[in-house]
Structure 1
Amino acid sequence: MIQRNRRAKALAIGAVALVSSLSLAACGTDNNTTASSTGSSGAAASSPAAIACASKQAPLLAAGSTAQGPAMDLWKTTYGTACSGTTVNYAGGGSGTGVQQFTQGKISFAGSDFALKPADITASKAACTGGQAIDLPMVAGLVSIVFNVDGVDKLTLDGPTTAKIFDSQITKWNDPAIAALNPGVTLPATDIQAFHRSDDSGTTFNLTSYLAKTSGGAWAAAADKSWKGKGGQSANGSAGVSAQIKSVKNSIGYVELSYAQQNSLKSAAIATGASKPVEATAANAATTLANSTVVGTGSDLALQLDYGTKAENAYPIVLVTYEIACDKGNKPDTLDALKSFLGYIASDSAQQAIGGKGYVPMPAAVSGKVKAAVSNLG
């Protein structure tokens, strides 16, 4: 336990340093540097200027998680500056859409906020000739409970109360359950305007994983990428939810920290059972991610997260966004470009760059495994 706590503390300190540093250095064109088809791009250099472009560059189509949208925007711009022959078109659309398009063979890789289910892996074999889809954890972050409540600057919630709000069991902001968690805060006697995702979403999956684990039965449904709560209003994507919370008074919703920061939204602290409520920060998410374990087999690197953590300074509603790719059977005309791009975004420089966008750079122990898996894609 002491060793685990030391490890969590070290990672949290590292995350603070990375998040504090806006190391978004401009990428110089370096088209003379190429990666061989054996995937040397998996060990991309630490400087964006040294990105190893594919020996056979080609456009890449991708879609899926909106949680990783800001990270992907940054990465594809930086990579495209170095490797002008590889245009990365990431369409977003939500994790469910991305996985579906991938298993149908329409895109080179998908972004997903949840690990593949057995049915998804089985379906992927039609697109991955001689292989199957694998999970490559590439972006770590957290789900913020964002709010816009008249006269309220700070808000604390816990698992049971959050579940009841999103399931329409608590409908007024001055409900005794909310008031008990927020002594000294004047809560308005107004209706709660709760917003959830309308699309299948890994963000929803991670939030409902937390609710199912910590609500003491208040959230009756199992964790799911589709919204199962009663009542409330819906919006498409993290951008849609953010826009609603920003414009609708006395509202509450859930988005990734990056979207909360971009839209200047307030995030609730979470009472977990630790000595004090835990703020929604990258460093506090890193404490939780430090204790994640790889549960995938073979080249699959799916992670198990502890949504019920009670550790000090451990924010519980964390997420890991995966890139979904074929371990074998990728299309020959885009394989080199795929390995080059995925190798770059797994690199230290790419991970550090998104630290300034509200994400948590992937722990080195995980990113090292990702780099090795990318280099072995076939």
Structure 2
Amino acid sequence: MRTSRPLRTLAAAAAAVLALSACGSDYPLGEEQREAAENSTSTLSGIISGSGSTAQGPAMDAWIGGFRVLHPKVQVQYSPDGSGAGRNALLAGAVNFAGSDAYLQDEELGEARETCGPDGALDIPAYISPIAVAFNLPGIDSLNMDAATIAKLFRGEIEFWNDPVIAAQNPGVELPQTRITAVSRADDSGTTENFTEYLHEAAPEEWPNDPSGSWPGGLGGENAQGSAGVISTVTRTEGAVAYSDDSVVDDSLGTVNLKVGEEYVPISAEAASIAVEQATRVQGRGEHDIALHLDRTTTAPGAYPLVLISYQIFCSSYEDADTAELVKTFGQYVVSEEGQQASAEAAKSAPIPDSLAVQARAAIESITVRP
């Protein structure tokens, strides 16, 4: 039975509240953070809450820790429930902001006007990271693949790692006759939406499904909850492969180099940043809504187009002046040079380009208090 949107929204809101009630640590970064906090002169105080992207989890930990040093009397709580759950929680008024690996869709923009006032909500790019196609093949650190091959692999049309289609792109690599187990996300995920958008645009014949945050039914394989869940499944399953934010992929797994133009590009923050520089703003949005369209078929040298731009989604206005001030101050820290550096160190993310950072700061500054 399909659950209605209002019921799903209320369920997400309840889950976010329960999860957030268990969050928080006075000084998660330890003694150095405690000393810095005690010497802070900031008078800002209060609590704000957010929910959403699991991909943003490591970066969010770093942002919360760094912000707490600057403003020790402020608590920022974040529950990594998945992008869809985070957007639902914001639209239900259960949290003050959402983290999402996909910008708000048209239907959600309409709902945001009910929760956030007549100007709705703002999509603010805050976290840029490549999506890894990670696999468990002992002794193999990387493989070359084009988008069509990746699509066939996740559709179950390529069943063994020594398939001729893979072998042709990897001369000299001794590929085992190991069965492929494709692992996908079980939850509504912005990472899934970005991954399926890449496949649909870069290999439309092999991946006819429209982009979606929900994995297509009937494809087989396994699924798991959250970015950490799919990587955990791959780590314990020889022959498994999954897509995930690169921040949770360690050196125990191999990763795929994407074919871009005539070259194969390894995954890196720098290559992701090159791809983002080709992005354009989505048309028909408000002045300060910075939803971006990525060119998944770019041939720019060194670009890695399987990338996610993860957003902080804020209301354009808040009923409470103190909440508005807290949200704006935290948002400005996230997109600042200091905040982006903290994210890069904690989560292997790429700092947002300077021109985008300027737009993001202006958008956050535009947040107002509703009369």
TM-score scaled by structure 1? 0.84
Q: Which residue of structure 1 lines up, in the alignment, with residue 339 of structure 2?
A: 350
Distance 2:324 2:195 in 1: 34
1:91 counterpart letter in structure 2: S
Q: Which runs of 5+ in 2 are unaligned?
A: 1-31
**Kept in 2: contact 1:64–1:99 (CA 8 A):** yes
Asked if 1:220 corresponds to 2:208, the answer is yes
Asked if 1:106 corresponds to 2:94, the answer is yes
- SS of 1:185's partner is coil
**Kept in 2: contact 1:150–1:188 (CA 8 A):** no
Distance 2:253 2:286 in 1: 39
State the 1:264 CA deviation.
Answer: 4.2
Q: Which residue of structure 2 lines up, in the alignment, with residue 140 of structure 1?
A: 128
**Kept in 2: contact 1:134–1:300 (CA 8 A):** yes
1:201 counterpart letter in structure 2: S
1:351 counterpart letter in structure 2: Q
Distance 2:62 2:252 in 1: 19
Deviates further, 312-321 or 122-131: 122-131
Among 63, 67, 92, the alignment partner of 1:75 is: 63
Asked if 1:359 corresponds to 2:349, the answer is yes
Q: Which residue of structure 2 lines up, in the alignment, with residue 126 of structure 1?
A: 114
State the 1:175 CA deviation.
Answer: 1.2
Distance 2:59 2:176 in 1: 37
Asked if 1:368 corresponds to 2:358, the answer is yes
Q: Which residue of structure 1 lines up, in the alignment, with residue 290 of structure 2?
A: 301
**Structure with larger RCO (C-alpha < 8 A, sep 6+):** 1
**Kept in 2: contact 1:294–1:301 (CA 8 A):** yes
Distance 1:330 1:259 in 2: 37
Asked if 1:61 corresponds to 2:70, the answer is no
- SS of 1:306's partner is coil
Matches within 5 A, 1:84-103: 84-103=72-91
State the 1:31 CA deviation.
Answer: 3.8
- SS of 1:93's partner is coil
Cα deviation, 1:98-130, whole Å, max 9, x if unaligned, reads 000000000000000011101011111221134
Q: 1:235 to 1:330 in 2, by over 3 A?
A: farther
Distance 1:257 1:76 in 2: 20
Distance 1:293 1:345 in 2: 22
**Kept in 2: contact 1:194–1:233 (CA 8 A):** yes
Distance 1:277 1:331 in 2: 51
Q: Which residue of structure 2 lines up, in the alignment, with residue 286 of structure 1?
A: 273
- Give the length in aligned residue pairs: 330
Q: Which residue of structure 2 lines up, in the alignment, with residue 32 of structure 1?
A: 41
- SS of 1:320's partner is strand
1:282 counterpart letter in structure 2: A
Q: Which residue of structure 2 lines up, in the alignment, with residue 320 of structure 1?
A: 309
Distance 1:291 1:354 in 2: 22
State the 1:254 CA deviation.
Answer: 0.9
- Percent identity among equivalent residues? 35
Distance 1:323 1:337 in 2: 14
Q: Which residue of structure 2 lines up, in the alignment, with residue 241 of structure 1?
A: 230
- What RMSD, in angstroms, separates the aligned Cα atoms of the two structures? 1.5
Distance 2:147 2:84 in 1: 25
Q: Which runs of 5+ in 1 are unaligned?
A: 1-25, 35-53
**Kept in 1: contact 2:40–2:69 (CA 8 A):** no
Distance 1:203 1:344 in 2: 24
State the 1:330 CA deviation.
Answer: 4.7
Distance 1:363 1:134 in 2: 19
**Kept in 2: contact 1:151–1:186 (CA 8 A):** no
- SS of 1:60's partner is strand
Distance 1:303 1:297 in 2: 13
Distance 2:319 2:304 in 1: 37
Distance 1:246 1:124 in 2: 39
State the 1:158 CA deviation.
Answer: 1.0
Among 188, 194, 197, the alignment partner of 2:176 is: 188
**Kept in 2: contact 1:130–1:329 (CA 8 A):** no
Q: Which residue of structure 1 lines up, in the alignment, with residue 137 of structure 2?
A: 149
